[in-house]
Amino acid sequence: MNPEITIIILNWNGWEDTIECLESLYQINYHNYEVIVVDNDSKDDSIEEIKKFCSNSNNTLKSERNIDIKMFEYEEKDFHHVNPYLESEKTIRNLILLKNSKNYGYAKGNNIGIRFALRVFNPDFILLLNNDTIADENFLNELTKAAENQERVGIYSPKLLNAYDHKIIDSTGHIISWGRIIDRGHGKIDKHQFDKKINIMGAKGAGAFYKREMLESIGLLRESYITSYEDAELSWRASKNSWKAVYVPKSIIYHKGWRSIKKDNSKWFYFWGLSLKNTTSTVKEYGTFYQKTIFSVFLIYFMIGSFLLRITRIRNSGVNYAHLLKELYK
């Protein structure tokens, strides 16, 4: 099995991470893939630095792997009527650079890349990859092996490890806990306790492998969520539509985490509040009465803890806990 894969990376003022991610991708042991970088109207030197990376004179892969990278660059007004001519030789890799006219956030930014990929490449799978990730050379081989002869599996999750300490788990897939979706194993020491291939709820968006047919059937990331919990909502929506998800422990990706938010600490509380609101909206839409009740307990516990320990966080996040609890049962 050698399915066609399109990898989508969203960049926003983060060319250093993006280039490190690309360097890892162009050295993997799988070859039937294309890469799309969607730039969310970066104001730093991202575009020029990515171009520089692709040029022969600055391409470190040229000497190490004898690989040339050919870049195709498009403005937003041209996204819907372009069809790039791609090189197919093993020594040439392609990079599609889509330049958005504004920062659309995580969901819409990735959806732009997904729609372009579905129209131009019609791949078997879409891989969403955060720009602050580093790929193991065998990660795609393991994902494609796991996907063989799996008709109703729409989502595959690799094992995400902390890029700064490979003994710490970032995510081993989405599961339901306290009535809402969380990342299984997050923050725990990797003692190989999550090394069995199992069914899960979905995959963290930092490294999520989606089947094309599933996306065409249930739709893409929910753009109203902008930048938090979009991956979890998609996982739950897929499950509600009878699509399964599988965790693939031998597929490894290293994730730095929270890089875009760290660039603007003033918005940390805003993102925290937005995440809680989006979580509530998702539980309300897909959760059972029992899950809503358990999540309500979580909200009340969180509210009391926040008041006692971090009253500043409540003021800055704009979270209205009473409103969230009412929303659950409307």
The reported pLDDT for the residue numbered 273 is: 75
Say what percent of the chain tops pLDDT 70.
88
The reported pLDDT for the residue numbered 313 is: 53
Two structure tokens written together for 298: 């979580």
The superfamily in CATH containing domain 5-262 is Spore Coat Polysaccharide Biosynthesis Protein SpsA; Chain A (3.90.550.10)
Name the band, by pLDDT with cuts 50, 70 and 90, for residue 130: very high
Backbone phi, psi, residue 286, to 5°? -115, -20
**Residue-wise pLDDT tens digits, 65-124:** 778 899 999 999 999 888 887 776 667 899 999 999 999 999 999 999 999 999 999 999
The reported pLDDT for the residue numbered 232 is: 97
Q: What is the DSSP string of 212-272?
A: HHHHHHH-S--GGGTTSSHHHHHHHHHHHTT-EEEEEEEEEEEE---HHHHT-GGGHHHHH
The reported pLDDT for the residue numbered 110 is: 98
pLDDT tops 80 at residue 314:
no
The reported pLDDT for the residue numbered 97 is: 97
**Residue-wise pLDDT tens digits, 169-180:** 999 999 999 999
pLDDT tops 60 at residue 264:
no
Q: At what angle do helices 46-54 and 15-25 cross, to 10 degrees?
A: 30
| Structure-model confidence comparison of residues 254 and 264, the more confident one | 254
The average pLDDT across 280-301 equals 93
**Residue-wise pLDDT tens digits, 194-206:** 999 999 999 999 9
DSSP class of residue 83 equals: -
The reported pLDDT for the residue numbered 90 is: 66
The reported pLDDT for the residue numbered 306 is: 60
Please tell me the pTM assigned to this model: 0.92
Residue 30 CA to residue 165 CA, distance in Å, equals 26
The reported pLDDT for the residue numbered 284 is: 95
| Structure-model confidence comparison of residues 272 and 26, the more confident one | 26
Q: Considering the chain, what is the average pLDDT of its residues? A: 89
Q: Which of 83-87, 262-266, 293-297 has the highest mean pLDDT?
A: 293-297
Q: How far is CA 151 from the centre of its chain?
A: 22
The reported pLDDT for the residue numbered 330 is: 77
Residue 53 CA to residue 71 CA, distance in Å, equals 10
Say what percent of the chain tops pLDDT 90.
73
| Structure-model confidence comparison of residues 244 and 226, the more confident one | 244
The average pLDDT across 157-169 equals 97
Name the band, by pLDDT with cuts 50, 70 and 90, for residue 302: confident
Please state the domain extents for the chain: 5-262, 265-328
Residue 283 CA to residue 237 CA, distance in Å, equals 11
Residue 217 CA to residue 200 CA, distance in Å, equals 20
Residue 150 CA to residue 125 CA, distance in Å, equals 13
* Range in 47-61, 123-137, 167-181 with the lowest mean pLDDT: 47-61
The average pLDDT across 251-255 equals 98
Closest CA relative to residue 279, chosen from 327, 240, 243: 327
Residue 257 CA to residue 297 CA, distance in Å, equals 28
The reported pLDDT for the residue numbered 321 is: 72
The reported pLDDT for the residue numbered 259 is: 59
Name the band, by pLDDT with cuts 50, 70 and 90, for residue 61: confident
